[in-house]
């Protein structure tokens, strides 16, 4: 054991280095030795990771900003009044906060367990009496990597859930505002660095109908003229998807052969 280190307050990196130092200098002594260091590593990881209540507070602020950005971008909101759907939008924010927080918590637990698994696996490979040939820095880095990636992964979760929040809010606002269809757009259309799904990229520019929209109910658009939105996944529904819909609210924006005779007469006037 390294002298002068208070293991109850030591950083995660210090604990990992101390564990590697001990095993390389003394070698594998017993299962109790490994369990002792595993306990210290788990406790240090707990101290290192962001507390759950701080995660939820950060997510609340993040999604609050996303909400404001989306609402400011939707210039049509004032036409039908946001107040009538505001509770639905805020319920979506709360749902995203819970989903993201749960994902981050699960990821935290998994990454710590991966670190402990790497540590125990390495311990079993240390020869009796230790090893002077071990690259201790490389070993410590390998063991610590899963836990040290937690903050990066938490940011990815927040960004992904932010995309989902924006897409869901835009859908709610658009449908309540009278949207009858949506044009699918994949980020890969203009971003060559984006890892686009082939099926989503192939879908770019295609128009999908809102089922039972006012245009269909009024007999202006043929039922089943095209694939309905609810027959495919939503934009941003899949993990790390950044696709979007451009919503359409006029039958003039639809292909003419999708319209009924009544619909074609309506646009001819």
pLDDT single digits (tens) 118-139: 999 999 888 888 888 889 999 9
Residue for token digits 């699918």?
184
pLDDT reported for residue 173: 84
Q: What is the mean pLDDT of residues 203-232?
A: 96
Residue 3 has pLDDT above 70, yes or no: no
- Name residue 209's beta-bridge partners: 181, 228
Q: What is the mean pLDDT of residues 179-197?
A: 93
Beta strand pairing call for 181-185 and 244-248 = antiparallel
Beta strand pairing call for 244-248 and 207-209 = unpaired
pLDDT single digits (tens) 60-111: 888 888 888 887 776 554 544 556 667 777 888 888 888 999 999 999 999 9
Residue 170 or 197, more confident? 197
Domains of the chain by residue range: 178-269
pLDDT reported for residue 36: 95
Residue 254 has pLDDT above 90, yes or no: yes
**Three-state secondary-structure class, residue 221:** strand
Strand order in the sheet with 244-248: 207-209, 181-185, 244-248
């Amino acid at each position: 054991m390294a002298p002068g280190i208070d293991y109850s307050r030591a950083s995660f990196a210090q604990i990992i280095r101390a564990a590697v130092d001990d095993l390389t200098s003394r070698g594998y002594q017993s299962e109790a030795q490994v369990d002792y260091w595993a306990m210290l590593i788990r406790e240090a990881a707990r101290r290192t990771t962001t507390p759950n209540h701080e995660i939820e507070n950060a997510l609340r602020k993040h999604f609050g900003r996303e909400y404001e950005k989306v609402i400011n971008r939707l210039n049509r909101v004032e036409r039908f009044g946001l107040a009538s759907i505001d509770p639905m939008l805020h319920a979506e924010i709360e749902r995203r906060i819970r989903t993201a927080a749960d994902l981050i918590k699960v990821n935290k637990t998994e990454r710590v367990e991966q670190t402990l698994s790497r540590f125990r696996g390495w311990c079993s490979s240390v020869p009796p009496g230790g090893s002077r040939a071990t690259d201790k820095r490389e070993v410590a880095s390998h063991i610590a990597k899963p836990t040290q990636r937690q903050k990066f992964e938490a940011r990815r979760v927040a960004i992904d859930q932010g995309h989902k929040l924006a897409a869901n809010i835009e859908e709610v606002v658009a449908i309540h505002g009278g949207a009858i269809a949506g044009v699918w757009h994949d980020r890969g259309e203009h971003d060559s660095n984006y890892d686009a799904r082939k099926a989503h990229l192939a879908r770019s520019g295609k128009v999908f109908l809102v089922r039972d929209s006012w245009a269909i109910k009024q007999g202006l658009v043929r039922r089943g003229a095209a694939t309905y939105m609810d027959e495919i996944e939503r934009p941003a529904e899949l993990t790390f998807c950044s696709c979007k819909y451009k919503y359409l609210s006029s039958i003039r924006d639809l292909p003419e052969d999708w319209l009924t005779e009544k619909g074609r007469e309506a646009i001819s006037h």
